[in-house]
Amino acid sequence: MEEIKNKVKESGLIQLDLADFLPKVNPVSLDLSEQLWQGLVLREKDFRAWVKENDWSTYGGVPVRVFCNTDAVIPTWAYMLVTSALAPYTQDVVAGSAAVMEHFLLSKALKELDLASLRDQRVIVKGCANLLDQEYALTQLVLTLRPVVKSLMFGEPCSTVPIYKKS
């Protein structure tokens, strides 16, 4: 009987999963609406006291998303003040939606990607990642990989869609 061969493994294809680019630690969400006076207005004196008294070290090493869950207008300086308080403990601070946080973390991971190991390689990007904005992630990945890879494909090794091939 003939030995079963793993043709995918022998093909030299490199598979990338978008989900692998996001940190294993879930981002923490910090809702500024909880600091609004009567749920409507941010009072500077009270807000500054909260920032001063809060134990920001609990956010150490964790991505933090700062947002407001209501329609209240939060002054821009409030986001700056919170970011300044968080900065000694984490550099991954974003103001905005969960999708904005995902964009930030993905962009950061792509900047840290070892492109030398992918130079002139045939790369397949798996399309089953559970992301908030998969289209954004895929476009950023194409822009990052296209200059270095030999070919870029989407899907699974058994069924790929060609995206780019170096001529």
Domain contains 2: no
What is the pTM assigned to this prediction? 0.83
pLDDT surpassing 90 at residue 39:
no
Domain contains 142: yes
Instruction: Summarize pLDDT for 8-29 with one digit per residue, the tens.
Output: 565 689 999 988 888 888 899 9
Domain match, 83 and 53 both: yes
Domain match, 17 and 55 both: no
pLDDT surpassing 70 at residue 5:
no
Torsion of CA 70, 76, 81, 86, to 10 degrees: 70
Domain match, 44 and 82 both: yes
Domain contains 98: no
Domain match, 123 and 72 both: no
Instruction: Summarize pLDDT for 47-73 with one digit per residue, the tens.
Output: 999 999 999 999 998 999 999 999 998
For residues 64 and 92, is the Cβ–Cβ distance under 8 A? Answer: yes
Greater confidence, 44 or 6? 44
Domain contains 52: yes
Q: What is the DSSP letter of 83?
A: H
Q: Mean pLDDT across the chain, nearest whole number? A: 92
Domain match, 32 and 18 both: no
Instruction: Summarize pLDDT for 106-164 with one digit per residue, the tens.
Output: 999 999 999 999 999 999 998 777 888 889 999 999 999 999 999 999 998 888 999 99
Domain match, 109 and 155 both: yes
Domain match, 109 and 142 both: yes
State the total domains in the chain.
2
- Residue 73: domain span: 28-91
Domain match, 108 and 159 both: yes
Q: How far is CA 76 from CA 12, 95, 118, 151, 160, in A?
A: 50, 10, 41, 44, 46
